[in-house]
Structure 1
Amino acid sequence: MKIKVILNSSCLVQPSEPTCNGCMPLTESDQTGVLTHVPTIYFYRPPQNWLTPKDTIFTTLRTSLRRVLVHFYPLAGRLRWLDGARLELDCNGKGAQLIEAHCEATLNDLGDLTPSPHFHYLIPQINYMVPIEEIPLLCAQLTKFQCGGISLSYTISHAVADGQSALHFISEWARLARGEPLQTAPFLDRKLLRAGEPPSAQPRFKHAQFDPPPLLIGQSSSENESKKETTITMFKLSKIQVEMLKNEANRTRACDRRVRAYTRYESIAAHIWRCSCKARRHVHEQPTAMGICVDIRRRMKPPLPEKFFGNAIVDVIATSFSGELMTRPLGYAAGKIREAIDSVTSEYVHSAIDFLKNLKDFSMLQDIHTLRTNQGPFYGNPNIGVVSWMALPLQGLDFGWGREIFMAPGTHDCDGDSLVLPGYEGDGSLVVALCLQAVCMGDFKKFFYEDINETKKNGSIIVD
């Protein structure tokens, strides 16, 4: 079924009070990697008193957005190019975009609300062909359905905020919409990560995350792989299945009390990595890499403020050969992931900053292209990325009309992208949102659940 979404209005929402003006230097992490907007969508069934008059919800969102932007004023600014494909943030108060639309369908017409092509029409679409100085850093869209249900989606430039910062913003926006005061102001000074400073040293570690990723054996580029059709599937893991994977990953771990047990993330990411190699039918000699996003707020010395607003993350790479991942125990892959994560120390972060500060040009390390194109870096087959949202406060987002009935990441159709999210029931279950080439997804699903069932033969369950 094709749904029809009609745009009613679009406006720029500016802070309700004067804010700091001028240029804000960005960190090296802000300026590299994915610079496009990251979407998230929430679905609600508001009570009747919120539906009349018909502009009540939109007015509440616009008024509270004006107020919250006073505190999160960088989101009302614009990016600006500098020499060497570097960027800075112009805090000019131009505003965030707020869109109102209606849909000639019901929420029931969307089925179980898991990510689908329908989401494309429910999420603000960013035109990356216009100058970057004209692109809002925050765009939100309210869509009303025939049944009285609504969706609220927002998309935030990754050049300005990581996942934790984005969730901090959206939760404070919801608090103000409910008529409550701001709970915690963001910490906006990026100089803690040496933003705007000149290079002061050479890197002290190797930083493989900035090297080109492995290619399929026999191919000289990723062009053919990047053109293949992809599909998105949500894989549910019950608490028992999560514990089974963790048990299996730890089954062959050295019996050394000083060695920490592999975590849920390490175990699940290892399982995803191994299943992707099987589903893609890699030869045993195929090099493969897994991208891991590590939050550095507590790894820095001294630690960053908890509400540091920006990109307090470092990407690291776990590498192996597909044959070893497919034939050796799950703990082998989990060990590779643990090794990559444990490499991220305060010294390592400063070395990565030094590496980037010494580069003359960032363009080869940036993905500034819109989704559904073959432009920009390609990190798909034979590679994969597994991002954890397990610890983020994704659910229970109440703007005054009650908590959502469902939330999901927006459309992400890059081969190999995956997210691990908390299950909606709050019972310890998890959900893996995976984008893979369409021809591989059926086999992936088969291996994903068959391999979990195989773990029943191995030992008892470890509980967190």
Structure 2
Amino acid sequence: MGVNSDAAAVYGHKLSTVVPGSVSGETVVHELADMDLVMKLHYVRTVYYFQQSETVDGLTIVDLKKPMFRWLTSYYPVTGRIRRTEAGRPLVKCNDCGVRIVEANCCRTLEEWLQVPHSARWRPLVPDKVLGPDLRFSPMVYVQFTKFQCGGMAIGYSWSHVLGDPVAGTNCINLWGQLLAGNPPPKSLLPHSARTPTARPARQPPVSATPLSVKQVEPAGDLWLIADACKMATDSITITESRLKHLQSEKLNSVPAFEMISALFWHCLASVRRGGREPRVVTICRHKPRAKKCAELSNEQMISTVSTSHASPADLDLAELALLVSKQKVDETTLVEESIDGDGGKPDFVVYGANLTFVDMEGVDLSGLDIKGEKPVQVDSVIDGVGDEGAVLVFPQGADAGGGSKGPAAVLILPEDQILKLREVLKREFDMA
């Protein structure tokens, strides 16, 4: 089964739009912070897979849409559209234009679909739309409901990263699931408060060095999409708890799982890219360690770099690389934010894939979406708009939300010709399939 045949198996697409249940007001805007604008060329695509059950069978599209009116009343900025100030800086006008809903069918069973390799199966089940070229009319969030032949269902969720990081995105869709079940949101979760424009002081050019963690690209204009020099593909590798402990060994048992897994893939990809293309500098993206309230929309990543100049990462001991990632990170978060112009939001940047990028997905609650008590048996979650150096998303309990017993999972977003070579290195050097 190839990519084209997988896409052809999903048919009968119907489009509609859902708006908030109450009017937010034409004068309300959601101001985009500097870090939001840094992330504007990236998109989070997630697909939740649900087995056939009496509950899933009984849901109609009306049932699925009904709680969305209340959901979007809390999250009304996601139903807005991008506008620009007179100076050219983007913002979200909260005009209640809505999120786009897609209904589709699949001629295969869910069991058959999950046998398709990760690299191919998720794309037909989640809209791959980007913002633009007509920003005034481009939805920022899409939800696709796909019914399988067996009665199972996939929920594809496309989230524009400019709205917030993956934690904010999953909090958003998880609230819809709570409302679908008839549950009120927890009292501790606050309703969204839109950020309104504030007077911006004149910003002096930063005196510090250009950040290594991002790559400046040609201004995207009104089409928020990066042009990859090579074809990117995705894959998923599960790392068992026993294998992780073996990698950590006695002298590395204090190194956390994320740092250990990052070092592993840094070493292996350096082996794949020998000949002057080894990644000597890598970017680390982590979410700030605080609970994000329900409807808070923000990009709160900490962006840092780790580098090795004296030798290729392929020639370094895995323990040395792991300690570098754990203890030698250089925080560039403030420097990255300062790179955004105070008015127009230019220049434009790529974060994921500017260097080989490792993203800690701890706190991204993929198992938090349930359908009236039904949990997804599998979740595929990737980031679109990744630059040519690639990215590795590290999920601490695995990207399968069905139990989490498999151990951590790494979702690879890499140039297509490197996936198989990487697996060969993992097998040869670490006996990992």
TM-score norm. by structure 2 comes to 0.83
SS in 2 for 1:269: helix
Q: Within the alignment, does 1:26 sit opposite 2:32 as a pair?
A: yes
Counterpart for residue 440 of structure 1? 418
Counterpart for residue 177 of structure 1? 180
Q: Could you list the runs of 5+ residues in structure 1 that have no partner in the other structure? A: 214-224, 252-260, 368-376, 455-464
Tell whether the 8 Å contact from 1:274 to 1:322 is kept in structure 2 after alignment. Answer: no
Distance 1:338 1:96, change over 3 A: same
Q: In the alignment, residue 81 of structure 1 is paired with which amino acid?
A: R
SS in 2 for 1:182: coil
CA displacement at 1:98 relative to structure 2: 1.1
Distance 1:290 1:124, change over 3 A: same
CA displacement at 1:444 relative to structure 2: 1.2
Tell whether the 8 Å contact from 1:84 to 1:362 is kept in structure 2 after alignment. Answer: no
CA displacement at 1:174 relative to structure 2: 0.5
Give the whole-Å Cα distance in 1 for the aligned partners of 2:429 and 2:32.
Answer: 44
Tell whether the 8 Å contact from 2:140 to 2:159 is kept in structure 1 after alignment. Answer: yes
Counterpart for residue 365 of structure 1? 348
Q: Could you list the runs of 5+ residues in structure 2 that have no partner in the other structure? A: 217-226
Give the whole-Å Cα distance in 1 for the aligned partners of 2:143 and 2:212.
Answer: 32
SS in 2 for 1:6: strand
Counterpart for residue 233 of structure 1? 235
Q: Within the alignment, does 1:387 sit opposite 2:359 as a pair?
A: yes
Tell whether the 8 Å contact from 1:41 to 1:410 is kept in structure 2 after alignment. Answer: no
CA displacement at 1:451 relative to structure 2: 3.5
Give the whole-Å Cα distance in 1 for the aligned partners of 2:31 and 2:404.
Answer: 39
CA displacement at 1:116 relative to structure 2: 3.1
Distance 1:70 1:239, change over 3 A: same
Counterpart for residue 328 of structure 1? 316
Q: In the alignment, residue 255 of structure 2 is paired with which amino acid?
A: Y
Distance 1:47 1:39, change over 3 A: same
SS in 2 for 1:136: coil
Count of aligned pairs between the two proteins: 408
Counterpart for residue 166 of structure 2? 163
TM-score norm. by structure 1 comes to 0.77
CA displacement at 1:132 relative to structure 2: 1.2
Deviations 1:382-418 (A, max 9, x none): x411112133211252121611111111474844122
Distance 1:211 1:61, change over 3 A: closer
Deviations 1:92-121 (A, max 9, x none): 111111111111222233243552334322
Give the whole-Å Cα distance in 2 for the aligned partners of 1:246 and 1:197.
Answer: 48
Counterpart for residue 403 of structure 1? 375
Q: Within the alignment, does 1:57 sit opposite 2:41 as a pair?
A: no
Counterpart for residue 392 of structure 2? 418
Distance 1:150 1:305, change over 3 A: closer
Counterpart for residue 285 of structure 2? 293
Q: Report the RMSD for the aligned CA atoms in angstroms.
A: 3.2
Distance 1:11 1:426, change over 3 A: same
Tell whether the 8 Å contact from 1:115 to 1:411 is kept in structure 2 after alignment. Answer: no
SS in 1 for 2:247: helix
Tell whether the 8 Å contact from 1:65 to 1:173 is kept in structure 2 after alignment. Answer: yes
Q: Which moved more, 1:171-180 or 1:225-234?
A: 225-234
SS in 2 for 1:10: strand
SS in 2 for 1:140: strand
Distance 1:243 1:101, change over 3 A: same
Counterpart for residue 252 of structure 2? 250
CA displacement at 1:10 relative to structure 2: 1.5
CA displacement at 1:201 relative to structure 2: 5.9
Tell whether the 8 Å contact from 1:100 to 1:143 is kept in structure 2 after alignment. Answer: yes
SS in 2 for 1:436: strand
- Show the 5 A alignment for 1:9-20: 9-20=14-25
Counterpart for residue 134 of structure 2? 131
SS in 1 for 2:21: coil
Distance 1:402 1:322, change over 3 A: farther
Distance 1:95 1:196, change over 3 A: farther
Distance 1:232 1:263, change over 3 A: same
Give the whole-Å Cα distance in 2 for the aligned partners of 1:263 and 1:88.
Answer: 38
Q: Within the alignment, does 1:149 sit opposite 2:152 as a pair?
A: yes
Distance 1:27 1:128, change over 3 A: closer
Q: Which moved more, 1:153-162 or 1:122-131?
A: 122-131
Tell whether the 8 Å contact from 1:116 to 1:411 is kept in structure 2 after alignment. Answer: no
CA displacement at 1:245 relative to structure 2: 2.6
Give the whole-Å Cα distance in 2 for the aligned partners of 1:232 and 1:198.
Answer: 42
Tell whether the 8 Å contact from 2:180 to 2:372 is kept in structure 1 after alignment. Answer: yes
CA displacement at 1:333 relative to structure 2: 2.3
Distance 1:207 1:321, change over 3 A: same
Question: What percent identity do the matched residue pairs reach?
Answer: 20
